[in-house]
Amino acid sequence: GRNAGDLGKPSISGDLPTDLLDAETRAQADHPDILSARAAERAANQAFNTLQAGVLPTLALSLSANTKAATGTSQDKDELAAQLVFSSPLLSTNATRSTARKVAASYRQAKLDRAEATRKVGVGAREAFRNWEATAIRLAAVSTEIEAFRLVAKGIASEAQFGQKTTLDLLDAEKDVNDAELSLVTAEHNQLLAAFRLKAAIGGLTAEKLGLGDVLGALSDMPAPQNPFYTTFPFQRRTTTD
């Protein structure tokens, strides 16, 4: 085995919400589920513009040029032609109406999904904040309790010196102190977990918020993957130059 390293309590980067409203506001602004639902709603709304562009009138312009060189100079000629075509649908087809209904239904569904995501994230943020508050109160209570047990143990140790308390009483008091210290470690652990759960509930555990967004660098800066053909068949690639 290995010797234990640093057993210090890890710290939480960034500040935590101060109240329920602050937690819900942060969650609705930064939570990935809400951001994803908003993006899906915008994409569904953009489908209306795509459908509208498909039924709008169109104007097409085409140009062509032709040169004819014959033996006689009188028969040489240059031809230049231009064509302008305007088209517009006169009546909406069944396919267009069906697509419009489908797009409208998708957009309404996206709006409902965004509202549901907002509701769930808000409920989760409030619940996580209440749990974090409960662990903080529990930690304060355990800290007060351990101080009381230490004072009791100190008093019993003093009384044991004058024969008013037995060794068994002193051992019981020390056991109470040890149990309280274990409860303190558990309370600190629970508060730390609750704090991280609160950070996750308000969208604070993303790679960008944790400073991990640029670990791999931009996708455009990454080298292209090697062609699997040359990995399987390691032939030398032939290059030609003019």
For residue 229, the model assigns a pLDDT of 57
Position 119 in a domain: yes
Alpha helices in the chain (DSSP H): 20-30, 32-55, 94-161, 167-201, 228-232
For residue 177, the model assigns a pLDDT of 93
Tokens of 121: 């994230």
How many domains does the chain divide into?
1
For residue 139, the model assigns a pLDDT of 94
Give me the domain span that covers residue 125. Answer: 20-55+95-207
CA 100 – CA 55 distance, rounded (Å)? 11
The list of the chain residues with pLDDT below 50 reads 239-242
Position 75 in a domain: no
Position 14 in a domain: no
Position 163 in a domain: yes
CA 99 – CA 88 distance, rounded (Å)? 18
For residue 191, the model assigns a pLDDT of 93
Position 183 in a domain: yes
Position 2 in a domain: no
Kindly report the CATH number assigned to the domain that includes residue 197: 1.20.1600.10
For residue 53, the model assigns a pLDDT of 80
Beta strand extents in the chain (DSSP E only): 58-68, 77-87
pLDDT per position as a tens digit, 126-172: 999 999 999 999 999 999 999 999 999 999 999 888 888 888 998 99
Q: How far is CA 154 from the centre of its chain?
A: 52
